[in-house]
Amino acid sequence: MSFRLFVYYCAVVGAWSGLVGWALGRLAPAIPPGNQDYWPVVFPTTLIALLLGFSIALGLSFLDAVFNYSLRRFGMVFLCVSAAMVVGVCGGLCGGFTGGTAYHFLHWNSVFLVSWTIVGMLVGMSISFFQVVSGLISRKDLGSAIKKFVKCLIGGTIGGILGGAIALGLRFLGEMALPGRDLRTPTAVGFVAIGACIGLLVGLAQIILKEAWIRVEAGFRPGREMLLQKDKTSIGRAEGSDIALFGDSGVEKAHANIVKDGGRYYLEDLQAPGGTYINDQKVEGRAPLKAGDLIRLGKSVLRFNERTKRKE
């Protein structure tokens, strides 16, 4: 999947997840008109935000896990999505409770912008929550996981603010056009806007702030682009490879690694019989990579890129 498609799918999946969250939220009890009691106001808003956080975290984490790991690594996808759903539910609880409490005391619809900001922030955090926990436990790739965590947090927060503002604007226009009527439709569109904005900004934050990436020029699924988010990225024909090159008999199950060391990236050959090449020069052991380098393994060709070119 190219980066452009990834961002597009993030927005689409976020929008559909927002719609699902709205549909599930209709199961929540309605707020009685004019009711001044605390729980009849706070409980429905908390439940609705919980369901929204759950659905968006589920959709976006699944897309992100498939983009980074593929469905062949089902166990990793399952762990990432499960952890994200837990954080998404917590985000909905915190956001809904905060917004509902503020609305109870202030009676301003605008306070719900705080709810959607919190939901967006925690949904963004949920995307890489498992990687951060795994890094803390294993002491591997922690720095890369934290960088992704920050990117997704920034994207989710901005998406929550933007989507929440759109949702409030739609509700305001609906109340002006149909005073005293049930505003299910503008609310549904508003939730779609919240989901789409969170998804779009989470995807954009990862792509715009990327440091290094690989593009498949020839081989399995050409045009595919992958972020390099680990200190050691494996390349091979095995299903557990970070960059999997299936169907190429010239590629070993564990063929090579891209290693980040001291802020630089290196290609590390794993003594594969067919060899590993950078710009048609055979790699012996480890060789430095620079932006634009072509990596050849068997019949597969990968292009390495990084944001800033380094001087030799």
pLDDT in tens, 191-217: 899 999 999 999 999 998 888 999 999
pLDDT-derived band at 34 (thresholds 50, 70, 90) equals: low
Asked whether residue 108 carries a pLDDT value surpassing 80, the answer given is no
What was the pLDDT predicted at 258?
Answer: 93
Phi and psi dihedrals of 93, rounded to 5?
Answer: -60, -50
Q: Name the range with the highest mean pLDDT among 60-69, 159-168, 193-202.
A: 193-202
Provide the CA 93 distance to its chain's centre, in angstroms: 20
What was the pLDDT predicted at 150?
Answer: 92
**Given the structure tokens 């955090």, which residue do they identify?**
125
What was the pLDDT predicted at 16?
Answer: 94
Asked whether residue 305 carries a pLDDT value surpassing 70, the answer given is yes
* Contact present, 122 and 91 (Cβ < 8 Å): yes
Mean pLDDT value of segment 96-120 = 83
Q: How far apart are CA 55 and CA 67, in angstroms?
A: 18
Mean pLDDT value of segment 59-63 = 93
Mean pLDDT value of segment 165-194 = 70
Q: How far is CA 99 from CA 43, 111, 173, 176, in A?
A: 11, 6, 20, 22
What was the pLDDT predicted at 240?
Answer: 80
Neighbouring C-alpha atoms within 13 Å toward the C-beta of 249: 0
Q: Under 8 Å CB-to-CB from 37, ≥6 apart: which residues?
A: none
What was the pLDDT predicted at 177?
Answer: 59
Asked whether residue 184 carries a pLDDT value surpassing 60, the answer given is no
Strand 281-282 with 264-269, pairing: unpaired
Asked whether residue 69 carries a pLDDT value surpassing 80, the answer given is no
pLDDT-derived band at 120 (thresholds 50, 70, 90) equals: very high
**Eight-class DSSP state of 300:** E
Which residues, listed in sequence order, are joined to residue 232 by a DSSP beta bridge?
259
What was the pLDDT predicted at 9?
Answer: 93
Mean pLDDT of all residues in the chain? 85
Asked whether residue 72 carries a pLDDT value surpassing 80, the answer given is no
Strand 286-288 with 294-297, pairing: unpaired
Q: Under 8 Å CB-to-CB from 289, ≥6 apart: which residues?
A: 258, 264, 265, 266, 267, 278, 295, 304, 306
What was the pLDDT predicted at 183?
Answer: 39
What was the pLDDT predicted at 179?
Answer: 56
What was the pLDDT predicted at 308?
Answer: 67
Phi and psi dihedrals of 152, rounded to 5?
Answer: -65, -35
Asked whether residue 149 carries a pLDDT value surpassing 80, the answer given is yes
Which residues, listed in sequence order, are joined to residue 225 by a DSSP beta bridge?
215
Q: How far is CA 269 from CA 98, 107, 226, 238, 259, in A?
A: 53, 64, 20, 16, 11
Mean pLDDT value of segment 150-178 = 84
pLDDT-derived band at 36 (thresholds 50, 70, 90) equals: low
CA angle 67, 135, 235 (to 5 degrees): 45
User: For residue 204, what are its two tokens?
Assistant: 């954009």
Least confident of 31-45, 102-116, 203-217, 269-283: 31-45
What was the pLDDT predicted at 257?
Answer: 93
Helix residue spans in the chain (DSSP H): 3-25, 39-69, 74-106, 112-127, 129-138, 142-177, 184-208
pLDDT-derived band at 126 (thresholds 50, 70, 90) equals: very high
What was the pLDDT predicted at 33?
Answer: 57
* Contact present, 230 and 213 (Cβ < 8 Å): no
Phi-psi region of 256 (alpha: psi -120 to 50; beta: other; left: phi over 0): beta
Asked whether residue 311 carries a pLDDT value surpassing 80, the answer given is no
